[in-house]
Amino acid sequence: PRLYQQRYNFVVSYVDQYKPKKVADLGCSNCSLLRRLKFCDCIEELVGLDIDQRLLTDKKESLKPLLISYLEPKKTRLTVSLYHGSVTEKDPALIGFDLITCIELIEHLETHDLDKFQDTLFGFMAPHTVLVSTPNSEFNVLLPNLTGFRHLDHKFEWTREEFQNWATNIAQCYNYSVEFSGVGEPPANAKDVGFCSQIGIFTRNYTESEESLKEKREYKHIYKKVLNVVY
Ligand code: SAM
């Protein structure tokens, strides 16, 4: 499979194993991952957030129920919502989630936005699990004709050490545990460069109190709803 599919496969395997009910994808772009997650029976609420409103508007039709969904209804009710907004902003629409994925998102954020994002994600949204994927710059020597970053819009690409330092620091700060994995195996003669995409798996070490959730639910809604469908 292509690299992006391997990243989605990683998320879907995680979902199959741990059965989260409420799942959100930050920086959902063309909604490809959401379209796959729609078929995971354990999921009851699926949310996508992106800053690119046009992309969301263009792709929202693809998340609406297909004829087959009426012929073969899901065992559990599923709500799918898309929001236009920034991952740096706190909105109650994203609290109380079991799993939040950030696939190839962080490297698109400027330093000051990355700071706000991590506080929003781990401090405010505070889901049970977070999956973060980002390029491993050590792998770049294997990519032909690459000068600079893998994508023009990347603000940085980190080595494994840089990513692991960032992630470990966050885990400590926000009381999460973190483990590392990745997708895109290097060839046998270059094993030491690591995976093409590195992935951090963060798990919250505490249970959030009802009081704290209640307080967050009172925050002002700032994301704009682009789609809300019930299956
Ligand atoms: N996650 C998708 C995937 O793996 O196929 C797409 C990743 S794409 C490289 C990065 C996405 O992040 C883009 O769709 C972009 O609009 C979105 N993005 C960038 N900055 C953002 C922000 N501050 N808030 C929300 N989305 C953002």
Pocket probe for ligand 1: among 4, 25, 50, the residue whose CB has the most ligand atoms within 8 Å is 50
User: Containing domain of residue 180, as a range?
Assistant: 3-230
Pocket of ligand 1 (CB under 6 A): 4, 27-29, 32, 49-52, 86-88, 103-105, 108-109, 113
How remote is the CA of residue 90 from the centroid of ligand 1, in Å? 17
120 Cβ contact partners less than 8 Å away, ≥ 6 residues apart: 87, 88, 89, 90
Instruction: Return the amino acid letter for 205.
Output: N
CATH number of the structural domain spanning residue 140: 3.40.50.150
Question: What local confidence, expressed as pLDDT, does residue 76 receive?
Answer: 81
> Per-block average pLDDT, block size 10, for the chain (231 residues)?
96 98 98 96 97 96 81 82 98 98 98 98 98 97 90 96 98 98 95 97 97 97 96 86
Question: What local confidence, expressed as pLDDT, does residue 81 receive?
Answer: 97
What is the reported pTM? 0.96
Question: What local confidence, expressed as pLDDT, does residue 75 receive?
Answer: 75
Please tell me the total count of domains within the chain. Answer: 1
Question: What local confidence, expressed as pLDDT, does residue 65 receive?
Answer: 82
Question: What local confidence, expressed as pLDDT, does residue 18 receive?
Answer: 97
Phi/psi of residue 129, each to 5°?
-130, 145
How remote is the CA of residue 105 from the centroid of ligand 1, in Å? 5
How remote is the CA of residue 218 from the centroid of ligand 1, in Å? 27
Which residue pairs from 155-158 have beta carbons closer than 8 angstroms and sit at least 24 positions apart in sequence? 155/107, 155/108, 155/109, 155/110, 155/111, 156/107, 157/107, 158/107, 158/134, 158/198
Question: What local confidence, expressed as pLDDT, does residue 71 receive?
Answer: 74
Residue owning the nearest CA to atom 21 of ligand 1:
51
Question: What local confidence, expressed as pLDDT, does residue 105 receive?
Answer: 98
Question: What local confidence, expressed as pLDDT, does residue 123 receive?
Answer: 98
Atom of ligand 1 nearest to the CA of 55: 14
Work out the widest C-alpha separation in the chain, in whole angstroms: 55
Question: What local confidence, expressed as pLDDT, does residue 126 receive?
Answer: 98
Atom of ligand 1 nearest to the CA of 101: 1
71 Cβ contact partners less than 8 Å away, ≥ 6 residues apart: none
